[in-house]
């Protein structure tokens, strides 16, 4: 369903196919650095810069026209963003969807009910009654998008194509703010021409990159300039955006979607109580799978879930002789630019 009606979102756990099926194009509110610093009047200074910069945009009216905004209660900062948004823009349509912190059966069932609540709300914003068949169509489109991203990303990274990661991130950013129907033809063209589109970069050092928000193309250019090649990533503005969604005729659609979201790669805020080391071991396994020589973590200031998990991640990587460099960011290029010397030294150490 190609449409220009936008619904904003701020978190990669947002069920994009539902927004699309309700007749909207999901539009990610990136934490742009071109609005006045105003969120401090509403939110505490020691809060995640991601949510504060999004709220800056809201206060500054630095957003496109949106039919509403979907917020995920995925961490306390996101919850505070919802509160701040309602205070700053009381006339906006907005909904907060609870996303459980654990991934057991009761959590999956609860989230399925939350998805059903979101579905009804989206159609209320539309002033019409939704048709469940449109969810299947949108899931099919997003599965195509996932498959294309997986194939193109895999080919670019396997061939270590120069500037390939900039192109991948450019497309992730575009897919976050435009209808999937706009992105699929671009990916298909790139898929067909990938062998001749970019130059090989065989002298750089393969690095696994993980963290939360990192979408600026200049940041990926900086990694390139420092001699790093991102051979795989686990970012909420990168590979965690799209995932396969499996549905069956027998199962409730919302339950199937809930299961699929819980089967994707988690960020640090989601915890499996039966397998407490899973987050760290997943990072280790992904780094090994892409033959990385080292790991870079890019985490935002005041992001407690990542700061809590980093010590065990460092310990497990150290046990497996994989060096880790932790970069702390504030959603500005200035902050990561200041880390250039550290990145260069890290890469030289790995050569």
CA–centroid distance for 241 within its chain: 5
Q: Which of 88-97, 187-196, 199-208 has the highest mean pLDDT?
A: 88-97
If pLDDT is split at 50, 70 and 90, which confidence band does 18 have? very high
The mean of the pLDDT values for the chain is: 92
> CA-based Rg of the chain, rounded to a whole angstrom?
20
What mean pLDDT is predicted for residues 67-91?
96
Is the pLDDT assigned to residue 199 strictly greater than 80? no
How many whole angstroms separate alpha carbon 335 and alpha carbon 274? 37
pLDDT confidence of residue 137: 94
Task: Tell me if 8 sits within 8 A of 27, measured CB to CB.
Answer: yes
What mean pLDDT is predicted for residues 4-28?
95
Is the pLDDT assigned to residue 198 strictly greater than 80? no
CB-based burial label for 48 (10 Å; 0-12, 13-18, 19+): buried
More confident residue, 131 or 70: 70
pLDDT confidence of residue 338: 83
How many whole angstroms separate alpha carbon 247 and alpha carbon 286? 26
- Of 7, 176, 11, nearest in space to 78 by CA: 11
Q: Which two tokens stand for residue 249?
A: 């005729």
How many whole angstroms separate alpha carbon 309 and alpha carbon 51? 20
If pLDDT is split at 50, 70 and 90, which confidence band does 227 have? very high
* Range in 80-94, 171-185, 272-286 the model is least confident about: 272-286
Q: Which two tokens stand for residue 35?
A: 């609005």
pLDDT confidence of residue 274: 84
More confident residue, 273 or 229: 229
Q: What digits encode the pLDDT tens for the residues 132-186?
A: 889 999 999 999 999 999 999 998 888 888 788 899 999 999 999 999 999 999 9
Phi, psi torsion values for 327, nearest 5 degrees: -110, 130
Task: Tell me if 214 sits within 8 A of 237, measured CB to CB.
Answer: yes
pLDDT confidence of residue 129: 75
Name the region of 163 (left: φ>0; alpha: ψ -120 to 50; beta: rest).
left
If pLDDT is split at 50, 70 and 90, which confidence band does 331 have? confident
If pLDDT is split at 50, 70 and 90, which confidence band does 201 have? low
What mean pLDDT is predicted for residues 56-69?
96
Is the pLDDT assigned to residue 196 strictly greater than 60? no
Q: What digits encode the pLDDT tens for the residues 245-276?
A: 999 888 999 999 999 999 988 888 888 888 88
Query: What pTM value is reported for the model?
Result: 0.92
Is the pLDDT assigned to residue 197 strictly greater than 60? no
Is the pLDDT assigned to residue 205 strictly greater than 80? yes
pLDDT confidence of residue 69: 98
Task: Tell me if 51 sits within 8 A of 81, measured CB to CB.
Answer: yes
If pLDDT is split at 50, 70 and 90, which confidence band does 39 have? very high
**Greatest distance between any 2 Cα atoms in the chain:** 60
Query: 330: Cβ–Cβ under 8 A, 6 or more apart, which residues?
Result: 49, 300, 301
pLDDT confidence of residue 121: 95
For residue 3, give Cα distances in angstroms to 27, 188, 222, 338, 340.
Answer: 12, 21, 35, 40, 41
Quote the percentage of the chain above a pLDDT of 90: 75
Task: State the distance between the two ends of the chain, measured CA to CA, in whole angstroms.
Answer: 48
If pLDDT is split at 50, 70 and 90, which confidence band does 3 have? low
Is the pLDDT assigned to residue 52 strictly greater than 60? yes
């Amino acid at each position: 369903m190609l449409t220009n009606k936008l619904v904003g979102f701020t978190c990669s756990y947002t069920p994009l196919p539902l927004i699309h099926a309700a007749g909207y194009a999901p539009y990610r509110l990136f934490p742009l650095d071109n609005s006045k610093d105003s969120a401090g009047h509403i939110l505490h200074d020691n809060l995640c810069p991601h949510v504060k910069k999004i709220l800056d945009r809201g206060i500054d009216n630095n957003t496109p026209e949106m039919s509403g905004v979907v917020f995920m209660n995925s961490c306390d900062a996101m919850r505070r963003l919802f509160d701040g948004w309602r205070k700053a823009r009381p006339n906006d349509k907005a909904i907060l969807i609870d996303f459980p912190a654990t991934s057991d059966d009761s959590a999956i069932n609860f989230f399925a009910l939350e998805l059903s609540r979101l579905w009804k709300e989206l159609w209320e914003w539309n002033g019409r009654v939704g048709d469940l068949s449109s969810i299947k169509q949108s899931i099919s489109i997003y599965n195509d998008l996932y498959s294309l991203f997986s194939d193109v990303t895999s080919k670019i990274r396997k061939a270590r194509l120069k500037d390939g990661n900039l192109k991948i991130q450019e497309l992730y950013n575009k897919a976050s703010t435009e209808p999937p129907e706009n992105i699929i033809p671009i990916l298909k063209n790139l898929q067909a021409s990938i062998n001749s589109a970019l130059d090989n970069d065989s002298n750089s050092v393969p690095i696994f990159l993980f963290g939360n928000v990192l979408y600026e193309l200049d940041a990926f250019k900086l990694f390139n300039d420092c001699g790093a090649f991102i051979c795989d990533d686990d970012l909420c503005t990168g590979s965690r955006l799209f995932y396969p969604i499996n549905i069956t005729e027998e199962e409730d659609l919302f339950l199937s979607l809930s299961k699929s979201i819980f089967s994707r790669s988690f960020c640090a805020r989601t915890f499996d109580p039966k397998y407490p080391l899973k987050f760290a071991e997943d990072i280790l396994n992904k780094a090994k799978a892409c033959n990385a020589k080292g790991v870079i973590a890019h985490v935002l200031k005041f992001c407690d879930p990542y700061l809590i998990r980093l010590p065990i991640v460092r310990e497990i990587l150290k046990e497996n002789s994989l060096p880790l460099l932790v970069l702390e960011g504030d959603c500005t290029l200035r902050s990561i630019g200041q880390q250039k010397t550290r990145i260069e030294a890290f890469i030289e150490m790995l050569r």
